[in-house]
Amino acid sequence: MSATARKKAPNAQDIRARKGGEPLVSLTAYTTPMARLMDDHCDFVLVGDSVGMVLHGLESTLGVTMEMMVMHGQAVARGLESAMMVIDMPFASYEHSPSEAFRNAARLMSQTSAGAVKLEGGVEMAETIRFLVKRGIPVMAHIGLTPQSVNTLGGYKVQGREEQAEAVLEDARAVAEAGAFSVVLEKVPQKLADQITGEIAIPTIGIGASAGCDGQILVVDDMVGFFTAFKPKFVKRYAELGPLAEAAIAEYAAEVRARTFPADEHVFSDQAPTKGPKT
């Protein structure tokens, strides 16, 4: 095999088979250029409904539509070859009934070429997960802090402390039993995340959970410093690209106002350049 040959993108069963093995790596992506940057480094890429807050300036994920997810899913798909693409089901696209969830999940997968969908909820969504899986829709579950339920959870709070722990554990058991191939644990105490990881048979993907999870995910704009409205505790900034970009924009603006940009090398003369003799 060529040293430069690209790996084949994994599918849901490949991700499930990584349980207890080398940690799974994932980031969110919403655009083709960002997807291309992470393709060689991630096992799967999530087209997250966090796009509403990160790129569209919404206050929460609740305003994200199917049309937005399809558009961003198609963009991300163009940038991926080696990583699997998972796409979020937006708020109100799957909660009403399993049949409605299937219609919307099928639309997302068929129109974006995603390898799986992700939906939020535990015990209450187990029937829907089972319904989708039986009909050929791979499902990644998401429990703990579920941002689409932020209004009923009372904000972006840690889920599973003290008397809440058993309920989160039951959610994990329910989605695994229903057929989800993996589950995101968001903002769950470390000890509980480790317990869940050790008990259920599918990979756990941590975000504000534990290094002991079977994988990790972050919002890419958080970890490279593009999104600066707030910084969750669980985010590590691997770069500060936001300030660098702002400084570049400020320098450009100053040069335009000073008429130092464009310079001679950026403009075109009246005469076409002469071509040298062929050799």
Tell me the one-letter amino acid at 14.
Answer: D
Closest C-alpha among 207, 213, 236 to residue 120: 207
CB 96 within 8 A of CB 58: no
186 as an active site residue: the answer is: yes
Q: What residue type is assigned to position 103 of the chain?
A: R
The catalytically annotated residue of 100, 170, 186, 251 is 186
In what helix (H) or strand (E) does residue 130 lie, and over which residues does it extend? helix 126-134
Contact call for residues 193 and 150 (beta carbons, < 8 A): no
C-alpha to C-alpha distance for 105 and 15, rounded to whole angstroms: 19
Strand pairing category for 182-186 and 84-88 = unpaired
End-to-end CA distance of the chain: 38
Active site amino acids: 186
